[in-house]
Amino acid sequence: MYTDQTSSAENLVAQMGAIKAGVTVVTFDEKENQDALDTALGSSQAKGLIFSPSTKMEDGTTTRGTFLSNLIPELSTLKFGSEVNSSKYPYLKTIVQTEHQAFNGVNKFRDVGVYTPPSMSVRQIPENQSDAVTHIAFQGSNQREYTSSDMVDNAKSLWDNHLSQTKEGEHANTPVFMPCDLETPFGFAAFLSLSSNLKKVFIPGTFNVSQMLKSVPRQGSTFVVCDEDLYNIEMPPSAASTYQEM
């Protein structure tokens, strides 16, 4: 998974679908590092990649599509949606993008869904096993695996110890504001915890802090679930009084 915050719906659909089908999801945290993408693809022997090609890096010009083209130059010779044949990543066969512009050798997310009644398909979704590895998370030089049971336990623990209060009092009728990276074990477990307990969430389509904060009063949210990096950002003095009240 290599999508951005504007593709949170596609991200969650892909992760939930993968888990249901018994497919392991691979994530990594250094998203602006081409070497980190190379390590995640190579070490995991991933068979597929879902990404947001036009997401820009800090330099304002390089994109995730640039990274992928550098790592897989064979893409430039392929037709749209062709099976990938990469010498560097022999296991990688399918690449899907969450956007709409054409990208050689890449499928569009909106085109890969097949809506077929059971009577017309021989495919069956396997039963998810508790010990099946659902996620492999690369965090810097470290790699950790999470099973289906791990994710369920994490989601249940979040609900029992923290998130259950979102169904009570002043939080009961407003969505949980959730500016989390959904490609982290915490972000996905938090979403799983809230959605499985029928609690509405609002996921902003950006990590730009000033834009995110403008969404809080519009949603009326009184409860926020966020990553540690966002939690530790110091509020500019000029805005402190405004957001302290929120």
List pLDDT tens digits, range 168-221. Answer: 888 999 999 999 899 988 999 999 999 999 999 999 888 777 777 777 778 888
Q: CA geometry: angle at 16 spanning 129 and 10, to 5°?
A: 160
Q: What percent of the chain has pLDDT over 90?
A: 54
> How many angstroms separate the CA atoms of 87 and 138, rounded?
23
- Mapped onto helix, strand or coil, the DSSP state of residue 222 is coil
Range of lowest pLDDT (23-27, 39-43, 113-117, 203-207): 113-117
Query: How many CB atoms within 10 Å of residue 57?
Result: 15
Contacts of 191 (CB under 8 A, 6+ apart): 12, 178, 180, 182, 201, 203
Give me the pLDDT at residue 246, please: 46
Nearest C-alpha neighbor of 194 from the set 204, 184, 203, 181:
203
Pairing, β 48-51 against β 94-97 = parallel
> How many angstroms separate the CA atoms of 107 and 105, rounded?
7
Neighbouring-strand partners of residue 97:
51, 108
Residue 19, both tokens = 């888990």
pLDDT tens for each residue of 76-123: 888 877 788 899 999 999 999 999 888 888 999 988 876 556 676 676
> How many angstroms separate the CA atoms of 203 and 222, rounded?
14
